[in-house]
Structure 1
Amino acid sequence: MLLLKRANELLEQGKLREAEFMFKAVLKENNKIGPALFGLGRICMRLEDYDSAIYYLKRACEHLPKMLDPLFALADAFMAVGSSVDAKTVLEYTLSVAKHNAQAHYKLGLFYLDHGFIENAERTFEAGLACPPSAVTAFMLHELSQISATNKLEAHIEKLHTLLTEYDNKRLKIVVYYSLARCNHRLQDHTQAFDYFRLANELQLSLCEFKTADMRSFFDELKEQCSEAFFSQPNDKVKATFTPTFIVGLPRTGSTLLEQMLVQHSNIGSMGESTVISDKIVPYLQMRNEAPFPQCLHTLNTSMLDHCRSLYVDEIKKHRVGEEVVINKLPANFQNIGLIQKIFPDARIIHLTRSFNANAWSVYSNHFAENEPYFCSLTEYKQYADFQEEMMAHFKRYLPRNIYTLSYEDLLDETPKELNKLLNFLYQKFEPECLEFYKSKRPVSTLSKAQVRRPLDQGPRSNWHVYEKEMMAMLDAEQTNLTTP
Structure 2
Amino acid sequence: MTLSPDQQLAEAARMLRCHEHQLAIPLCQQVLQLQPDNINAWRMLFELYRLTGNYQLLAQCSLQAIQRLPEFPAAIQAACMALRQLQQHQQAIKLLQDAIKQYPAWAELQLQLGLLYKETGDFSAALAAFNQAIALAPSLHEAYWLRADMLKQPTAAEISQLRQQLTRPELTDDARAQLHYALARALEFQHNYAASFAELTAGAAAKRRSLHYDHAAELAEHRRSSAPFGQQRFATACNSDVTPIFICGLPRSGSTLAEHILSSHPAVRAGDELFDLAQATRDVLSNAQQQQPFPLWAASMSDEQWHQLGQRYLERTRHLHSNGYFTDKMPLNYKAIGIIAKALPQAKIIHCQRHPMDTLFSCYKQLFADGIAFSYDLTELAEIYQAHQTLMQQWQQLLPGRIYQLRYERLIRQQQAETARLLAFIGLDWAESCLTFHQNPRAVYTVSSTQVRQPLFSSSLGFWQHYQPQLAGLATLLAEDIRQYQQQLPPR
TM-score normalised by L of structure 1: 0.89
Deviation string 1:408-447 (CA, Å, 9 cap, x unpaired) is 0011111111000110101111111111111222111111
Q: 1:198 aligns with which of 188, 196, 201?
A: 201
- 2:421 corresponding residue in structure 1: 421
Task: Give the letter aligned to residue 377 of structure 1.
Answer: D
Root mean square deviation, CA, Å:
2.7
Contact kept, 8 Å, 2:16 with 2:48, in 1: the verdict is no
Contact 1:208 1:371 in 2 (8 A): no
Match of 2:363 in 1: 363
Conservation of the 8 A alpha-carbon contact between 1:37 and 1:60: yes
Q: Which residue of 1 aligns with 2:294?
A: 293
Give SS of 1:326's match: strand
Q: Cα 1:411–1:184, aligned 2, differ >3 Å: closer, same or farther? A: same
Shift of 1:55: 3.6
Write the distance in 1 (CA, Å) between the matches of 2:133 and 2:78. Answer: 20
**Residue in 1 aligned with 2:451?**
451
Indicate the residue corresponding to 2:325 in structure 1: 325
CA contact (8 A) 1:61 1:71 kept: yes
Report whether the alignment pairs 1:160 with 2:165. Answer: no
The 1-side partners of 2:67 and 2:253 are apart by 45
Q: Deviation digits for residues 248-276 of structure 1, max 9, x if unmatched?
A: 21110110011001101011122211122
Residue in structure 2 matched with residue 64 of structure 1 by the alignment? 69
Cα distance in 1, alignment partners of residues 36 and 213 from structure 2: 48
Name the CA shift for 1:343/1:87 in 2 (closer, same or farther; >3 Å). Answer: same
Counterpart of 1:430 in structure 2 is 430
| Counterpart Cα distance in 1 of 2:349 and 2:6 | 53
Larger displacement relative to structure 2 (88-97 or 62-71): 62-71
Equivalent residue runs for 1:177-256 within 5 Å: 177-227=180-230, 229-230=231-232, 233=233, 235=235, 238-256=238-256
- The corresponding residue for 2:484 is none
**Residue 180 of structure 1, CA deviation:** 0.8
Q: What SS is found at the alignment partner of 2:351?
A: strand
Q: Is the 8 A contact 2:242 2:321 kept in 1?
A: no
Q: Which is richer in helix? A: 1
Aligned twin of 1:378? 378
Q: Indicate the residue corresponding to 1:340 in structure 2.
A: 340
1:108 partner letter: L
- Partner of 1:162, secondary structure, is helix
Deviation at 1:25, TM superposition (A): 4.7
Q: Distance in 1 between matches of 2:390 and 2:476?
A: 22
| Identity, % of aligned positions | 22
Q: Cα distance 1:424–1:367, how it changes in 2: closer, same or farther (>3 A)? A: same
Partner Cα separation in structure 2 for residue 354 and residue 278 of structure 1: 26
Post-superposition CA distance 1:6-62 (Å, at most 9, x none) = 377447535546654554454444434455445444444444444443343223223
What is the distance in 1 between the residues matched to 2:49 and 2:217?
37
Distance 1:371 1:311 in 2: 24
Which residue matches 1:399?
399
Give the 3 Å change call, closer, same or farther, for CA 463–221 of structure 1 in structure 2: closer
Distance 1:56 1:217, change over 3 A: closer
Amino acid at match of 1:361: F
- 1:458 CA drift (Å): 1.3
Alpha carbons 2:247, 2:255 under 8 Å: kept: yes
Measured after TM superposition, the shift of residue 329 of structure 1 is: 1.4
Distance 1:407 1:192 in 2: 31
In the other structure, the counterpart of 2:486 is: none
2:446 match: secondary structure: coil
Shift of 1:396: 0.8
Match of 2:133 among 112, 119, 128: 128
Which SS does the other structure have where 2:321 is aligned? coil
Q: Show the 5 A alignment for 1:46-195.
A: 46-134=51-139, 137-150=140-153, 152-166=154-168, 167-195=170-198
**1:466 and 2:469 equivalent?**
no
Q: Helix, strand or coil: the match of 1:339? A: helix
1:467 Cα deviation from its structure 2 partner: 0.2
Shift of 1:382: 1.0
1:216 Cα deviation after fit? 3.9
What stretches of structure 2 of length at least 5 have no aligned partner? 480-492
* Residues 268 and 320 (structure 1), Cα distance of their counterparts in 2 relative to 1, 3 Å cut: closer
* Distance in 2, Cα, partners of 1:18 & 1:347: 32
Q: In structure 2, what is the Cα distance between the partners aligned to 1:371 and 1:44?
A: 20
Shift of 1:370: 1.6
The TM-score with structure 2 as length reference comes to 0.88
Q: Distance in 2 between matches of 1:25 and 1:324?
A: 38
Specify the alignment match of 1:390 in structure 2. 390
1:34–1:64 Cα contact (<8 Å) kept? no
